[in-house]
Amino acid sequence: MKILDVTLRDGGYVNDFGLNEEAAFWVVELLDKAELDGLEIGYLTGMHPSHIHGENPPGICHAWPVDRIAELAATVTTPLVGMLNPAGHVPIDFDELAQSKLTLVRVVITPEATSDWRDITNKLGVVGLPFTVNLVLASWMTPEEVVSHARTAQEAGADVFYIADSNGALLPGQVEELFRRLRDSIDIPLGFHAHDCKSLALANVIAAERGGAEWADSSLLGIGRGAGNAITEVLHEIDGRDAEARHRLLRGLPEVARQFGVRQDEKMWQQLCAFMDIWPHTMDLIEQIGGEMGIDRYDLASDRLLGRTFSQPPAPEELRQVMGVSRAG
């Protein structure tokens, strides 16, 4: 499974795309260490104005300037991806976009999509930019309608056909069957964008893979519209990727939460402890030691315990020794 992180774009729905340029570059730097297959930086032509609700103008991930994309691409090794919404209102020069070092452009289409998006994909084809067609609101369509859109996307030259469970309504069995039908109907790679409204985003990603999907979207901490997305750091582990690369992500999550203005303290802590496979008594002990040292429990554990394993719950003194701290007083 290829993992495409969408934190910068889908996370924009959490903070009204308020992330500034410095913060966006920092998130990209963090994700670049995770050895992912793609990193979506945000929208290229903006969104429909009705989707922006904040008092302040939206930040860079709402509509990336082409010159800033090129500058960003020069600093990372992970392929950069941008989303182009036909309903967007920011003009774009496709020739300049082709020079920006984006590796993939994602074009959004709706169930009632007209030929407008074909004009966009034709322009992308002319300048030689690979693109996906991303069909949203899949739960509102019959499988036959989804397959029809997929065939149209393939005829248009799409490199990948994506479906998005925008309402988080689909069940794993439905997802798997839908992807099996798609796999039998078209030849290009398939991708899936899940939402976690029924706490099934990760289960649906796994079901999509069983059905033939090759790409999956996810975000750090699952940050995203509504109930959020599949979780990048968990999907990273499910896919058997490098543990140290994952540890680098985990150490950066508190700052990610701060930048997006979300309170994830307890969720992050419980998740970190699950990655370390430690039980509640040890969690309490880490928190106690952190209190003695004046260090946040998450920062203490992620800095000194990630990558270590215990065959049984450690005694207090053993844990202190492993963490390199002495008893207070």
Does 183 have pLDDT greater than 60? yes
pLDDT digits (tens, 9 = 90+) for 239-277: 999 999 999 999 999 999 999 999 878 889 999 999 999
Model pLDDT, residue 48: 66
Percent over 70 (pLDDT), the chain? 96
Model pLDDT, residue 326: 75
Does 233 have pLDDT greater than 80? yes
Separation in Å, CA 106 to CA 34, 58, 133, 295, 308: 22, 20, 6, 42, 39
User: Would you give the distance in Å from CA 187 to the centre of its chain?
Assistant: 25
3 state DSSP class of 240: coil
Residues 295 and 299: their CA atoms lie apart, in Å, by: 7
Q: What is the mean pLDDT of residues 278-282?
A: 89
pTM recorded for the entire structure? 0.94
Model pLDDT, residue 166: 96
* CATH number of the structural domain 2-260: 3.20.20.70
Q: Where are the domains of the chain?
A: 2-260, 275-323
Closest CA to 194 of 233, 224, 159: 224
Residue 17, token pair as written in the block: 């795309």
Report the chain's C-alpha Rg in angstroms: 21
Burial class of residue 187 in the structure, from the number of CB atoms within 10 Å of its CB (0-12 exposed, 13-18 middle, 19+ buried)? exposed
Closest CA to 124 of 45, 185, 191: 45
Inter-residue contact 219 to 189 (CB < 8 Å): no
Does 237 have pLDDT greater than 80? yes
DSSP class of residue 78? S
pLDDT digits (tens, 9 = 90+) for 6-26: 999 999 999 989 999 999 999
pLDDT digits (tens, 9 = 90+) for 61-115: 999 999 999 999 999 999 999 999 888 888 999 999 999 999 999 999 999 876 6
Closest CA to 272 of 254, 294, 295, 292: 254
